[in-house]
Amino acid sequence: MRKMIVIALVILAFWAWGTETISLKEIKPGMTGYGLTVVRGAEISRFEVEVVDVLDEPGERNDFIVVRVYGDAVARSGGIAQGMSGSPVYLGEKLAGALSRAATWALDRERPLGLVTPIESMLKLLTEVKKEEIPVPEDRNLRAFGISRVILADAPPAEVPADALVTWPISVPLVASGLSARTLRLLQEGVDLTRWPHPLLELVPDWRGKLPGFSELGFTRILAAPAGSGQQSLEFQPGAPVGVALSLGDLTVGALGTITLVEDESILAFGHPFLYTGPCQYFLTGAAVLDTVAAMDVSYKFGTITDLRGGVFVDRWAGIAGRTDRRPLPITTEITVTGEAQGKFTTQLVDEPRLSPLLFYVAGVEALDGALDRIGPGTVRVKYTISGRGLPRPFSRENVFLSTSDIAIYAPWEAALVLDVLAYNEFRNPLLTAVKLEATVDPGFNALEIVDLVTDRSSYRPGDTIQFTVEVRYWRGETKTFEGSIRIPVDLNTPYVELRAYGGPRMREKGEPSPLLKSIEDVLDYIEGIPTYDTLTVELFAVDPISEIMGEAWLYGVDSVAQKFSGTVVYGEVSLILPLGG
């Protein structure tokens, strides 16, 4: 009964789409047809297709049509190129599916073979797939080629077993415009969040040790492309190029593929996943293919993202699906640079937790690099505001950063970290709508070093007040003192106290519990309470009595006083151990 329902749903889907299709059951070896794709410019080229075999396994995740592709378009591309994924394949003028995987086999690498994702799988957009081998039964046509198994790999293999047909997805080329070589590298490699200590790192999930780059998502190359606004782009139709963008504007990042099917306001493309996120909110755009590069390793289409045309809302095993009558709500990002140089950088980002913080960080570094026209030291004062429909209020924070070698990489760092924390908070989807960052750069060092800490006595009792003096020195400048006092609690049970003077935020001590956060409001309050890098803090610490049993002193903060030196980074640390008598 269930099988009859599935068949009925497939038939209904074919009728609903209004496009004549051919099912996997009807396809036989030897059938011929054609595919459509753009090799260069705005002309859709035709390539020829011959069915070699049909892989019809239990279920649908490993169902493919094995085809030989040939013709002038294939020859000019150097075989099946990245960017051809989604190219519609027709048999007898009926849509059979989308070219989705390239293949090679040991005995003959000159005649390109490829795998086609059946159209019924794309229409239903399957939800999952695993790498695995598919045995080839004795009665299959592939046996005539000496092929007894089909291996689904992630990338072209270094070696091919004699009895195997090895296939891999026709990866969509990832293109980016508006970036330098070093920000392209950041986009590819990602950013390590832990390279600079910060209390917020405790709120980042353990598996988010870094903002992952696109190499970790399976993209082996990112192509620097020209801005696409002036490029000629075809209207959506089968065989035409299509773009899936993650950012648009001064920073444009996206992938190029080919449209398989267009029906009214809906499109199907790729024939395989993009980021494999299931429900999604990506930008659907036009695309222009400038040329197809017949590379030594893997051929690829070189092109660019063009105009925004709608949204991609499904990203599953069998392909992507989008609509031209709906657009995702973007995160509007505006980065303004003043001080030593002036510049403004605006872009629209998709709301994708895995990638939005990285895209923002890369845009920030590019904005600073572009405005300063140098890579080097300096001090930067930063103010950023984050807004979202799921936030109780817009969140704003000011901070200051200093670097002796590369100030640009610090300016967007904390804001990107906050975005990451909000994206993965356990309470509420922030539904981010805007991020605004203002960075004022000074080429010099606005810094203040903590030189010494002195108290009025060498030992104290519970209930006493500690009078202290902190000596500080400006970078290559004068020395000043800062005086204050802290009272020791009457009921404090500890053999000694530690008085510590330090600049900026500090990490949690072993004797201190994790912050107790019960709502997204608590998260915002906690972030706002973290000292900025222009803050000098003098804090009193006590020893956790239980820790002495463990043979190790675990400290916890008792009380503190702070003074802010606006726009000046406070660095260094001095501490005193003060015995506490009964």
Going by pLDDT thresholds of 50, 70 and 90, the confidence category of residue 131 is very low
Q: Do you know the residue count of the chain?
A: 582
Which of 73-87, 126-140, 397-411, 455-469 shows the lowest mean pLDDT across its residues?
126-140
Q: Are 369 and 382 in contact (CB under 8 A)?
A: no
CA distances from 464 to 461, 556, 562, 576, 577 (A): 6, 19, 20, 16, 15
- Per-residue pLDDT, 98: 85
0.75 cut: is pTM over it? yes
- In sequence order, the β-bridge partners of residue 283 are 245, 311
Going by pLDDT thresholds of 50, 70 and 90, the confidence category of residue 11 is very low
- Per-residue pLDDT, 296: 46
pLDDT per residue over 400-417, tens digit each? 999 999 999 999 999 999
pLDDT at 498 over 60: yes
Task: Measure the CA–CA gap between 192 and 356, rounded to whole angstroms.
Answer: 15
Going by pLDDT thresholds of 50, 70 and 90, the confidence category of residue 84 is confident
Q: Would you list the DSSP string of 469-517?
A: EEEEEETTS-EEEEEEEEEPPTT---SEEEEEEEES--PPPTTSPPP--
Top-confidence residue, 366 or 270: 366
Going by pLDDT thresholds of 50, 70 and 90, the confidence category of residue 5 is very low
State what percent of residues in the chain have pLDDT above 90. Answer: 46
Ordered by start, the domain boundaries in the chain are 20-169, 174-323, 331-442, 447-579
pLDDT per residue over 530-567, tens digit each? 999 999 999 999 998 877 666 688 999 999 999 999 99
Mean pLDDT of 206-232: 74
Q: Are 344 and 178 in contact (CB under 8 A)?
A: no
Task: Measure the CA–CA gap between 357 and 330, rounded to whole angstroms.
Answer: 13
Pick the CATH number of 20-169 from 3.40.640.10, 3.10.620.30, 2.70.98.60, 2.40.10.10: 2.40.10.10
- Per-residue pLDDT, 7: 39
Going by pLDDT thresholds of 50, 70 and 90, the confidence category of residue 574 is very high
Residue 390: how many CB atoms within 10 A of its CB? 14
- Per-residue pLDDT, 257: 85
Which of 80-94, 120-134, 483-497 shows the lowest mean pLDDT across its residues?
120-134
pLDDT per residue over 264-309, tens digit each? 888 888 888 888 888 889 999 998 876 665 554 555 566 788 899 9
